[in-house]
Structure 1
Amino acid sequence: MDFALTDDQKALADAAADFARVELSEHAAEWDATSHFPVDVIRRAGEAGFLGIYTPEAHGGLGLSRLEASLIFEQLSQGCISTTAYLTIHNMVTWMIANWGSDASRERFVGPMVAGELLGSYCLTEPGAGSDAANLRSKAVRDGDDYVIDGAKMFISGAGDTDVLVVMARTGAADSGAAGVSAFVVPADAEGVSYGKNEDKMGWKSQPTRLISFDGVRVPVENRLGEEGEGFKFAMKGLDGGRLNIASCSLGAAQHALTLARNYLGERKQFGQALSSFQALQFKLADMASELMAARLMVRHAAWRLDQGDPEATAHCAMAKRFATDVGFKVCNEALQLHGGYGYIREYPLERLVRDTRVHQILEGTNEIMRVIIARRLLVDGVVEALQ
């Protein structure tokens, strides 16, 4: 088993680190303080290739692996977690349209999305359907050559400032569960689409989060992804990669926090000596580094499984997401603690890292739901050896 990165993969990570340093790092605190959505920088991410990372080359993307996407997102998130998290969502939406959209949808949306000319949002969660997403209530009723969509989605990243929505809506009976869900591409400015207020969140402030209402929104049949009833399957396939993406953002956040903590311990003196000379703090730093490395290896292993089409990839993605997002938050919080009072003030970035990583344990499936997925494979399906 070879854990070494290739020269090309190292070059991708270096390019992402350069972009983070030049375009993200110096502005992240200001974007957080002013809740600014940096559309101009996001468009430049498109110019750098970071808006179609694993979208197939045939549709204008880079066609990279999930492992390579993880390397890129880990580096970008060291510049700004919140903005990078939006980039992961846009990549997922673009990939879904490229893979399951009609020729007309691909031609209309994918190229401009890869280039950053159009930005996307992913619309699954509803006021009454979060973890229980298969029971969503938004409806799409066939009317001739159109579908008419009614309902609401909430906690939608980028909503109100994006151009393209991938919307999950029920085309089957109310009790049809996952089998009755279909997916649609909806222009964000379509008649009948309206937006709620930008939520005042704990973190992720450089991207807007709004409720979206759909009132008699008409979209042509060609805007459906795949066939009727396949939408939930597409959503779950998107979330396998999405979970690795957000786990990778947690890795980047933790790496940034670890670096800040190491530097601070070497600079700060108490009782006449550097904090780095105290063994208790050395042990703390060592534990942070060890757990971060374990999380990184787990994410990369799950990404490799997903790239290989492994049938157990979903469980491995769930394990990686659960572990890496827990570790990411823990490392950021421990780094804040090591900074003492300085870690709690906004002049230092630690409190922002803690706020931004906390939501990673909730979105793309809560970490409790990740445990359900893993336990089901072990207990219900009887799979044990295959998860090795």
Structure 2
Amino acid sequence: MQYPFTEEQLALADLTRDFMEREVAPVAAEMDRRTDPKDCYPGELLNKASHLGLRTMAVPEEHGGIGADTTTKALCLWTGAQIEIGVIKCLSQCWKVSNAIFKCGSEAVLEKWGKMFVEDHDCVGSFVITEPDYGSDNVYRQSDPAVGLKTSAVQDGDYFVLNGAKRFTSLTSWAKILLVFARTNPDVPLHQGTTCFLVHGDQEGVTYGNVHDKLGYRLYPNAESYYDNVRVHKDDILGEVDKGFQTFATVFRGSAELPACNTGIARGIYNFCLQHAKERIQGGKPIIEHQTIQHMLAEMLMNIEVAEQFMWRICWGVENDESYNTRFTRYGKVFSDQVALKTIAFATDILGGIGIMKETPTEKMMRDLLTFLHGDGTDSITLLRAAQTLDEPA
């Protein structure tokens, strides 16, 4: 691996790989095929991962974690994604939630919500933003106050009363900590009048709808949720009033999560294709000896390795470059999405019919890659977000 990882980072990657191979790989295919998406949630596996310290990896050392940085999280996510994406993505969600809580939380928040997250091995969280009528409008900055999420938060003394509906949000039905984004000032643009509230998953007034029946990432479920006069104390605000998207940016400004997911799965597909090419006999010899197959494997690996190197550049920039531009984050997502599609195209050619059979891991991996192309916004909206920074230096 041509990157200067520390011994601690490599040890954590080995721990992740061992856990994923030992605990997840033997059961992932069966869990993925369960008819009811509610039955795909890997709660027992996440509990086991938590006892190894993987769930709380991003928590600062003084609060019981190891304070994993961007590179460490990306390395572990990339490692796990080569084996099974759903479980490791659930853990990555925990890293994002704990990152937000411990970076943006007041002392009261850390004592209540931070302590709860660290001590409960079954505690996961959910960023609750997307609504039935508002998805891309929530991430693409626009000046019209009428645009964007409509969940409201009206102050009533020391409390805020939340009302609204959300959908497509990750781990929502199982989350003990909901980070609910609601409009506290509907008269200004979304990014100037939204607040992030910490809400108990079983709090009065919170109900849940469908768990979405997805093509892939089935071990990382998404669901609907509804908020009917949910009362949240002002001490349970994460960050500041009207500055919810600053809290959001703390987590997503320099994230390498999506490139790590895409390149990790793509690596898993490549590894299977390479082994298959060495074993499959056509034309009287292993197909890897045919130049056409060699060319496809070489181009597949070239695409993956270029995307990986840019991912590590993102990680380094977030941690070391004060002038880091968020469009690098956007590029990492879009480019790795494009690499994902090319990987699928090459794999279906190299593998032929066996590649889409449920008896092989590549069938699930291809579904997983296709499922998350819209993650953190479609590629089109992501490039529009990057275009808003064209005049800024790299």
| SS of corresponding position for 1:197 | strand
Shift of 1:333: 4.2
Select the residue among 89, 94, 119 that pairs with 1:90: 94
Q: Report whether the alignment pairs 1:213 with 2:226.
A: yes
Q: 1:176 aligns with which of 186, 189, 194?
A: 189
Bigger mean CA deviation after superposition, 290-299 or 131-140? 131-140
Match of 1:51 in 2: 55
The aligned residue for residue 321 of structure 1 is 333
The equivalent residue for 2:21 is: 21
Task: Give the distance between the partners of 2:159 and 2:69, measured in 1 at CA.
Answer: 35
Distance in 1 of aligned mates of 2:126 and 2:321: 26
Q: Deviations over 1:218-243 (max 9, x none)?
A: 111111012111101211332234x4
Partner of residue 313 from structure 2, selected from 271, 281, 301: 301
Shift of 1:173: 2.2
Residue 104, structure 1, aligned to residue 111, structure 2 = no
- In 1: Cα distance, 2:4 partner to 2:92 partner: 24
Q: TM-score, normalised by structure 1?
A: 0.93
* 1:141 maps to 2:149: no
- Structure 1 residues 109-165: Cα deviation after superposition (integer angstroms, max 9, x where no partner): 223424533111111111121111062111111111111100111101112122110
Which digits, 9 at most, give the CA deviation of each residue in 1:161-208, with x for residues without a partner? 221100110001244321000001000111111111111111111132
Instruction: Look up the match of 1:132.
Output: 137
Q: Distance in 2 between matches of 1:44 and 1:109?
A: 21
State the partner residue of 2:168: 155
- Letter of the 1:10 partner, please give it: L
After superposition, the Cα gap between the structure-2 partners of 1:175 and 1:127, relative to the gap in structure 1 and judged at 3 Å, is farther
Residue identity in the other structure for 1:119: V
1:4 equivalent in structure 2? 4
From the superposition, tell whether residues 369 and 312 of structure 1 become closer, same or farther in structure 2 (CA, over 3 Å): farther
Deviation by residue 1:27-59 (Cα, 9 ceiling, x = unmatched)? 211111114211111122222222233332232
Query: Which letter does structure 2 place at the counterpart of 1:12?
Result: L
In structure 2, do the counterparts of structure 1 residues 329 and 55 end up closer, same or farther at CA, with 3 Å as the change threshold?
farther
TM-superposed deviation, 1:95: 1.3
Alpha-carbon separation, structure 2, partners of 1:313 and 1:232: 17
Distance 2:322 2:380 in 1: 23
The code of the aligned residue for 1:253 comes to I
Distance 2:92 2:316 in 1: 18
Contact 1:332 1:353 in 2 (8 A): no
For 2:7 and 2:220, the matched residues in 1 are separated by 33
Q: How far off is 1:253 after superposition? A: 0.6
SS at 2:213 equivalent: coil
SS in 2 for 1:321: helix
Given residue 161 of structure 1, which amino acid in structure 2 is its aligned partner? W
Distance in 2, Cα, partners of 1:6 & 1:121: 31
Aligned to 1:345: 357
| Pair 361,23 (structure 1): closer, same or farther in 2 beyond 3 Å | same
Equivalent residue runs for 1:222-371 within 5 Å = 222-241=235-254, 243-308=255-320, 310-371=322-383
Which residue of structure 2 lines up, in the alignment, with residue 119 of structure 1?
Answer: 124
Deviations 1:280-334 (A, max 9, x none): 1100000011111100000110011111253334111111111123213432442
CA distance in 1, matches of 2:172, 2:69: 28
CA spacing shift, 1:246–1:113, aligned 2, 3 Å: farther
What one-letter code is carried by the residue in structure 2 that aligns with 1:177?
L
Q: Distance in 1 between matches of 2:294 and 2:371?
A: 29
Distance in structure 2 (CA, Å) of the matches to 1:353 and 1:279: 26
One-letter code aligned to 1:185: L
Residue in structure 2 matched with residue 73 of structure 1 by the alignment: 77
What is the number of equivalent residue pairs in this alignment? 380
What residue in structure 1 maps to residue 43 of structure 2? Answer: 39
Which consecutive segments of 4 or more residues in structure 1 shift more than 3 A?
none
2-structure distance, mates of 1:114, 1:73: 20
Q: Give the whole-Å Cα distance in 1 for the aligned partners of 2:149 and 2:162.
A: 13
Equivalent-residue separation in structure 2 for 1:313 and 1:23 (angstroms) = 38
Gaps of 5+ in 1: none
